[in-house]
A and B are shown apart, each in its own frame.
Chain A
Amino acid sequence: MTTVGNQLPLDGLRVLDLGQFIAMPFCTMWLAWLGADVIVVESRRRFTSRTAPPFAQGHEGEPNGSGYFNLLYSRKRSCTVDMTTAAGRDIVRRLAGKCDIVVDNFSTGVLEKLGLGYDSIAQLNPGIIMASNGAFGRTGPMRNARGLHSAVNLFSGVADVTGYVNSHPRILGGVIPDPLSGTYSVFAVLAALHHRQRTGQGQFIDMAMYEAMMTLIPEAVIDFTLNGAEPTRTGSRDRVKAPHGIYRARAADTWIAISVESDGEWQAMCRVANRPDWQTDPRFQSADGRRINVAAVDVLVEDWTRERDVHEAVRDLQSAGVAAGPVLRADQLLDDEQLNERGLVITTDHPVAGKRRQLGIPWRMDTLGIDYQRAPLLGEHTREILTTLLGIDEHAYAALEADGVLA
């Protein structure tokens, strides 16, 4: 499924994907959709993202039925190589020699122990760009610390600014450290590639997921280091705009986001709610007044929204020029008319899992293309990659297979 017939921007780029879980597979997914040839090294002993649920119904526990794999590995090629064998490591080293970019998010030190660290690969391929992603990065006293996304979130300071009014710190949703650091990784390798095209110089990129997360909270970091001010949790409120919140709508667990910036917008909102008394209430005449009396404003707004259907209220507020939108769940994103109209909701057809929807590249380019294809079956491209790219002949291939190196 090619969305645009134009030339793919990263056509000709070859990437070796040693990633796992979400962060680096997310990075190489975007690189693949933008045209790069992404070679995934996996094995029956190291199943990348193939082991976690959900699975396609009737294919529970099967490597080719994995939801995470089949979405995150779209348009990549699968090469099964067992890196616990010396011959397997040699193959991976030779593959790295044929690539522009290598990415990994193993624990710190794992690749070095396998003889596949940046320094070894750079000896063979001095122009190689290697992006290595860890929860706390590859340096510092915490470089070996275990880092689930929640640990990254809790360390980064983001949890300190997330929470209900005067309540305790909460964890931001979406396992966001993974895709966010994955996106920064795409930026990083493209910047490094730009540098290499000018200078011929490759390099090592050390990605710490917590540092990516810290870029979300400059205000709070500066307020603390400048003024010694520590955050107080304020729900979804803003320091400047009021009302600015997520309010109950009529049906159970439906919610509307409303953000009022100007006095004119507040007046418009009062008209939509048909509440002239709000309009004349001296407490709410200015943004400052609404902010000081935000608790009272929030109660009034919610008294109105809880009687309304979320989509009707959004329509009426938007027609009056007030920023408002429904709180959407992930399943609703797949059916969202705006995201569908933008071409963001894509469908790939997998031989085991069937037709599945996911979200694609979140921007449009008028002179360049994007290409979406299904994920590979386990080992689907091993033979083609080893014989074509590495020139391994059929005889040697059969020997590797017999020795279990390609399992």
Chain B
Amino acid sequence: MIGEPAPPAEGPLANLSVVELADGTAGPYTAKLLGDFGAEVVKIETPAGDSTRRRGPFPDGKPDPEASGLYLYLNINKYGVSIDIDDPAGRAWVDRLLDRADVFVSNLQRNVLECAQLDPETVRKRHPRLVVTTISPFGDSGPWAQRKGDELVTFAMSGMAYGTPGMPDAADDLDREPPLHPSCFVGETIAGVVAATATLTAIHGRRRTQLGCHVEVSQQAAIAAMQIRDITNASYTGKPPNRLLNPTTIGRMPNFYLPCKDGYVTVTAFMDEHWDRLVEFMNKPAWALSAEFSDTLARTRNWIALRLKLIEWTMTLTGDELYALAERAQLPIFPFYSIRKMASSEQVRERRSLVAVTIGGRPARMPGAPFAMRKTPWQLRRPAPRLGEHNDVFLRSRASLAS
């Protein structure tokens, strides 16, 4: 038996059963996290399939609902069934799946759930021990409850768009550099992490109360709750955040995001000991020793000139050269990594931060464990299901046994 791989350890959530009726990123990511760490997740798709099946990225950009990268990432470690929830027979199947579940996750619109009699109140009446986790753009109550929101709009209303570009990066020109949303589902992903965390909280609480729970997540609130830095400043100074590049925004100088020979780099050396070492490593140029930059107050006051001088220096070196120097000098200098460079780095390889998968028959890699658990490691147990792949398993034998 030598050389045989050890059988996979159970995940930490191995005895939890989750039913997902969700779409896009937020709801599916909630269930993915639970499944990644061992819960049995049954994903219900309507016959049209999850919208991420139509989003890609696809091999060579050719649309194929079974080869969409985002879908395959968000739905690994799940079983998949397809059910028409507009049909009473379909709804009966959903109910049977919920009979044996601990958790029901959904980010579908409330009126869709109500039409299918799958809204939290109705479901909990039928399944009193169930933890029902719903995610909506603004929450189920309040003046915005009925309004339309998505990734972009919830992000804009969370404080995070206003704060981007952020520390020590900032806008050079308020009018030409609007608040910015990145090209990824940052808001929906945060809502998913928050909803998965909230779900586990309610599972722990259930042990005490013996009651199910409606866990109701607002995506806007989830992203806003992350803005601890800007909220702290607002709460303690009473002043609005400033997004323009200057010492009011950034604090003491130098603390810059600068171009270098082959990319970009942060240079943070506002503490005297860091500045002195930085000057040393720049080979003590005359400008750095001048009265204009003699102490932290002067450097902060003359930050515009300081920035230009530092750019002259960083432009003579590559990001890697600057980082090697920073390592020797114990200075907080760090270069920009493209995705290409990150993906081929030793750190990512050694920690297996990206895992190998197959997409449309072709090899690819995707983010793996968001953290490493020593006794119950993250595992890719099964690839994402094809549409309706496990109907035979869950809509016949097992659910029938339960009925």
- In B255-277, which residues have CB < 8 Å from any A CB? 257, 259, 264, 266, 268
Residue B1 CB within 8 A of the other chain: no
Chain B residues with CB under 8 A of A364: 139, 214-216
Q: Mark each residue of chain B from 219 to 256: 1 if its CB lies under 8 Å from any CB of chain A, else 0.
A: 01110111111111111111111010000000000000
- In A296-321, which residues have CB < 8 Å from any B CB? 318, 321
Complex Cα distance, B254 from A23, in Å, reads: 24
Complex Cα distance, B178 from A163, in Å, reads: 11
Report yes or no: B189 in contact with A216, Cβ–Cβ below 8 A: yes
Residue B316 CB within 8 A of the other chain: no
Kindly provide the distance from the CB of A220 to the nearest chain B CB, expressed in whole angstroms. Answer: 6
Q: In the complex, which of the residues A158, A325, A353, A366 has the most CB atoms of chain B within 10 Å of its own CB atom?
A: A325
Residue A275 CB within 8 A of the other chain: no
Residue A142 CB within 8 A of the other chain: yes
Chain B residues with CB under 8 A of A259: 150-153
Residue A87 CB within 8 A of the other chain: no
Complex Cα distance, B268 from A171, in Å, reads: 14
Q: A211-B370, A339-B220 are in contact. Are A217 and B200 (CB under 8 A)?
A: no
Residue from A137, A163, A210, A365 within 8 A of B202 (CB atoms): A365
Chain B residues with CB under 8 A of A136: 347
Residue from A9, A164, A322, A360 within 8 A of B180 (CB atoms): A164
Q: Mark each residue of chain B from 333 to 350: 1 if its CB lies under 8 Å from any CB of chain A, else 0.
A: 011111110110111001
Chain B residues with CB under 8 A of A159: 264, 336-337
Residue B201 CB within 8 A of the other chain: yes
Residue A219 CB within 8 A of the other chain: yes
Kindly provide the distance from the CB of A313 to the nearest chain B CB, expressed in whole angstroms. Answer: 13
Kindly provide the distance from the CB of A250 to the nearest chain B CB, expressed in whole angstroms. Answer: 13
Residue B157 CB within 8 A of the other chain: yes
Closest to B226 in A: A179
Report yes or no: B227 in contact with A359, Cβ–Cβ below 8 A: yes
Residue A190 CB within 8 A of the other chain: yes
Report yes or no: B372 in contact with A220, Cβ–Cβ below 8 A: no
Residue B60 CB within 8 A of the other chain: yes
Residue A44 CB within 8 A of the other chain: no
Residue A170 CB within 8 A of the other chain: yes
Report yes or no: B371 in contact with A208, Cβ–Cβ below 8 A: yes
Complex Cα distance, B203 from A194, in Å, reads: 9
Chain B residues with CB under 8 A of A198: 14-15
Chain A residues with CB under 8 A of B168: 150, 171
Report yes or no: B226 in contact with A180, Cβ–Cβ below 8 A: yes
Q: In the complex, which of the residues B153, B165, B268 has the most CB atoms of chain A within 10 Å of its own CB atom?
A: B153
Report yes or no: A222 in contact with B69, Cβ–Cβ below 8 A: yes
Kindly provide the distance from the CB of B179 to the nearest chain A CB, expressed in whole angstroms. Answer: 5
Chain B residues with CB under 8 A of A192: 12, 373, 376
Report yes or no: A137 in contact with B157, Cβ–Cβ below 8 A: no
Report yes or no: A255 in contact with B202, Cβ–Cβ below 8 A: no
Report yes or no: A174 in contact with B160, Cβ–Cβ below 8 A: yes
Interface bin, chain A: 35 or more
Report yes or no: B332 in contact with A151, Cβ–Cβ below 8 A: yes
Residue A68 CB within 8 A of the other chain: yes
Chain B residues with CB under 8 A of A156: 337, 342
Chain A residues with CB under 8 A of B160: 172-174, 176
Kindly provide the distance from the CB of A22 to the nearest chain B CB, expressed in whole angstroms. Answer: 6
Report yes or no: A190 in contact with B197, Cβ–Cβ below 8 A: yes
Q: Mark each residue of chain A from 172 to 208: 1 if its CB lies under 8 Å from any CB of chain B, else 0.
A: 1111101110011111101111110110011111111
Closest to B326 in A: A146
Residue B396 CB within 8 A of the other chain: no
Kindly provide the distance from the CB of A386 to the nearest chain B CB, expressed in whole angstroms. Answer: 28
Report yes or no: A158 in contact with B184, Cβ–Cβ below 8 A: yes
Chain B residues with CB under 8 A of A324: 148, 153
Complex Cα distance, B162 from A172, in Å, reads: 10
Residue from B207, B241, B354, B371 within 8 A of A207 (CB atoms): B371
Report yes or no: A363 in contact with B156, Cβ–Cβ below 8 A: no
Chain A residues with CB under 8 A of B203: 194
Complex Cα distance, B24 from A240, in Å, reads: 13
Complex Cα distance, B211 from A355, in Å, reads: 35
Closest to A168 in B: B264
Q: A156-B342, A330-B234, A341-B143 are in contact. Are A184 and B370 (CB under 8 A)?
A: yes
Report yes or no: A236 in contact with B184, Cβ–Cβ below 8 A: no
Chain A residues with CB under 8 A of B157: 257, 325-328, 336, 338
Q: A157-B337, A190-B201, A224-B339 are in contact. Are A327 and B150 (CB under 8 A)?
A: no
- In B190-204, which residues have CB < 8 Å from any A CB? 190, 193-198, 200-204
Residue from B201, B231, B330 within 8 A of A330 (CB atoms): B231
Stretch of B77-85, B88-96, B106-114, B359-367 that contacts chain A: B359-367
Residue B294 CB within 8 A of the other chain: no
Q: Mark each residue of chain B from 364 to 400: 1 if its CB lies under 8 Å from any CB of chain A, else 0.
A: 1111111111111000000000000000000000000
Stretch of B42-50, B169-177, B284-292, B295-303 that contacts chain A: B169-177
Residue A281 CB within 8 A of the other chain: no
Q: In the complex, which of the residues A68, A148, A180, A363 has the most CB atoms of chain B within 10 Å of its own CB atom?
A: A363
Residue from B204, B343, B346 within 8 A of A194 (CB atoms): B204
Nearest first, the 9 A-B pairs at minimum CB distance are A173-B163, A173-B166, A9-B205, A330-B230, A257-B156, A195-B12, A341-B142, A67-B236, A222-B69
Q: A327-B161, A330-B241 are in contact. List 5 more A-B contacts (CB 8 A).
A: A192-B376, A203-B373, A257-B157, A325-B149, A342-B142
- Return 29 A-B CB contacts under 8 Å, by A number: A10-B204, A67-B233, A72-B232, A150-B169, A150-B334, A157-B339, A159-B336, A160-B336, A162-B180, A170-B169, A176-B186, A178-B228, A180-B190, A183-B190, A183-B194, A203-B374, A215-B367, A216-B186, A222-B72, A244-B152, A325-B154, A326-B157, A338-B138, A342-B141, A356-B235, A359-B221, A359-B227, A365-B216, A368-B202
